[in-house]
Structure 1
Amino acid sequence: MNEEQKQQETGTGGDFEERLRELLAEDANTIRPAPVPYPVIHRRGAIERRRRVAATGAVLVTLAAMPVGAYALADGDAGGNTVASTPSVSATPRTSATPTPTPSASPARPATEGQLLDGITFGQAVDGLKKCLAYDQSHTRGPSGFRTDLGAAEEYRIILAMNSIGDSNAPGDGMYVVAVKEQPKQTRLICKVKDGEANGLNTDVGSDDVPGAGPVMADINGGKLYQQSILDRGNWKLPFRWGVIGTVEPSVARVTVSYGGATTQAALDHGWFVAADVLNQQVTMAPRIKGYDADSKLVYDSDEDKNYEKRLP
């Protein structure tokens, strides 16, 4: 090999090695890019900090817009603190809703104080009603064990409370409490409380309306309020506190009840009439009931009512 050939081979080999080094350098840059210059890093960091400050400010504005007390913690008995649900915050102000009234924990009072008799206070009548409802819950009725849910005391209106006089069938004096409610079904209960305990309960669920009934209708089971036991007929204990209850239509403006020679004007209470007095003589005839309209026109007379028992048993 002459000198010229050697130089050509050497030159070719040098070019190859130089090219190989360039290729290796390019691959290295592809795998690990060259570092970003420090000024670029600093600028990007400043932009990111401004974004975070703006986001934090927006959150604080949203929290400030929420009403005080929007979050409430529940008692620990619930197994941990629970956040009460709240409506979404709106950009448009809204008028606060009127709070829903809390249902009363007590029955409604009678329309007149004269329906609480013999020194019985409203509190005592309420206590008697609650005992009667508890008595109903603890006693099954009927051969199949069927029991009607009479509801809670606060659903009722007390329309009468008076002393009860014991007789041969039910010895011992006590107190009668009469209460009614309209929803979900018209319900009337007469309960006797004796020695601080419910001693008997009579209930009527559903309307007593019958075909041909007049604008005034005496309670079909209200006789226990104005008569003593049939065992004592002609020998009642006197004086005797009695009461008469029933329903009236809106057209009726006044109701009177005559019993034992005396006439009493009844109280009208949300579709019910309530009369009471004291009997001082033996009787054989049931109370006579009359209803009048706003013009004092007689619109009902129990003596003309074929569904009303006019004589005592």
Structure 2
Amino acid sequence: MNDDEKRQAASDEREFEDELRELLAEDAYTIRPSAAPYPQIRRRGALERRRRVAVAGAALATLAAVPAAVYGLGAGSAQGSTAAAPTPSRTATPSAPPTPSAEPDRATAALFDGITYRQARDGLEDCLDSEFTRDRPGRPGLAPPDAYAIVLAMRSTGDSNTGGDGVFVVAEADDEERSSLICRLEDGVTQGITGFPDESDEIADAGAVLVNPNSNRLFKQTVLDHGRWKLPFRWAVVGTAKPSVARVTVSYGDSGAEATVRDGRFVASGVLNEQVMRAPHIKGYDAGGELVYDSDDDKYWESTLP
């Protein structure tokens, strides 16, 4: 091997090591969740504790780039709109109908990509009864199943870190900790689950809007595909909003969305049709239309994507 070949080999090895380190740091349902993606938040113990109960999904398989399989959900539609209804993915094994206490969220759940309320509810039930939670005493960070309300269900675009397209289900509970849950399923089978409480009140200098750091997987693809995302890409942003916030808007590349704001929480979703290098741009307004939050001015928000 001549000198040029040796230098090229060394460069390739360093590039591989850099990608591997980024992958290990990515919040992608690993056994031991990484710190929050924002440098400033990493230094705050309050937000670190929010991540303590993330449960493994895909585990150590995240070390390998997995080719995309045959997908169960179709491509998205124009920006910011609900995608054309695809052939739904197979849902979990039929279960008992949702309890009456869970039914009110049927009217307020944000359902995209042809996913029905029943499919979303079945997916949530599978998550809460999956191998990731079934044998964990006390199921830390998780509320009882009938306490959760579906707030979002959408397709999950497969990338080099997942086996194929699937479904994301996001649910929230009105328990003491205001627990939230993000679950990813493929063909109705749970692949990963993250449960966490709302601890935004512990960040004294937080802005009027705070994106939950556990939800970054909803709006980005793996670092292995940096600059080479699979498009169109259904994305979402979820978080909390202070009482002063009446309206939240999100713009992301060529797409945008008006968030649903309810009970101090917000959720927004759209369809991205172009490769992006910058994170979603989020703005919050009060009832009079005055801007009270801009993510460009938020020290806890990382505006560029890794």
- TM-score bin (small chain): 0.5 to 0.7
- 2:119 pairs, out of 124, 142, 159, with 124
1:187 matched to 2:179? The reply is yes
Give the CA deviation at 1:214: 1.3
Alignment match, 2:215: 222
Give the CA deviation at 1:195: 1.5
Give the CA deviation at 1:111: 5.9
Amino acid across the alignment from 1:195: D
1:154-169 matched pairs, under 5 angstroms: 154-169=146-161
Unaligned runs of 5+ in 1: 1-102
Q: 3-state SS of the aligned residue for 1:118?
A: coil
Give the CA deviation at 1:153: 2.2
1:276 matched to 2:269? The reply is yes
What is the CA–CA distance in structure 2 between the aligned matches of 1:111 and 1:186, rounded to whole Å? 20
| Alpha-carbon displacement from aligned partner over 1:181-222 (angstroms, at most 9, x marks no partner) | 131212111000112211101121241341211111111111
Residues 208 and 220 of structure 1 are in contact (CA less than 8 Å); yes or no, is this contact kept in structure 2? no
Q: 3-state SS of the aligned residue for 2:126?
A: helix
Residue correspondences, number: 206
* More displaced stretch, 160-169 vs 269-278: 269-278
Q: 3-state SS of the aligned residue for 1:163?
A: strand
| Alpha-carbon displacement from aligned partner over 1:138-183 (angstroms, at most 9, x marks no partner) | 254xxxx884162322201211100001111112111000011131
1:152 matched to 2:148? The reply is no
- 1:301 pairs, out of 284, 294, 306, with 294
Give the CA deviation at 1:128: 0.6
**Change in CA separation of 1:291 and 1:177 when aligned onto 2, cut-off 3 Å:** same
1:87-98 matched pairs, under 5 angstroms: none
Give the CA deviation at 1:108: 4.1
Larger radius of gyration: 1
Amino acid across the alignment from 2:254: G
Amino acid across the alignment from 2:184: K
Amino acid across the alignment from 2:122: D
Q: 3-state SS of the aligned residue for 1:130?
A: helix
Residues 111 and 159 of structure 1 are in contact (CA less than 8 Å); yes or no, is this contact kept in structure 2? no
Alignment match, 2:105: 109
Unaligned runs of 5+ in 2: 1-98
- TM-score of the two chains, using structure 1 as the length reference: 0.62
Alignment match, 1:27: none
What is the CA–CA distance in structure 2 between the aligned matches of 1:237 and 1:305, rounded to whole Å? 29
**Change in CA separation of 1:206 and 1:270 when aligned onto 2, cut-off 3 Å:** closer
Q: 3-state SS of the aligned residue for 1:303?
A: helix
Alignment match, 2:225: 232
Amino acid across the alignment from 2:163: P
Q: 3-state SS of the aligned residue for 1:282?
A: coil
What is the CA–CA distance in structure 2 between the aligned matches of 1:277 and 1:305, rounded to whole Å? 22
What is the CA–CA distance in structure 2 between the aligned matches of 1:172 and 1:186, rounded to whole Å? 31
* More displaced stretch, 188-197 vs 130-139: 130-139
**Change in CA separation of 1:149 and 1:230 when aligned onto 2, cut-off 3 Å:** closer
Amino acid across the alignment from 2:287: A
Alignment match, 1:138: 134
Residue identity over aligned pairs, in percent, reads 48
Alignment match, 2:32: none
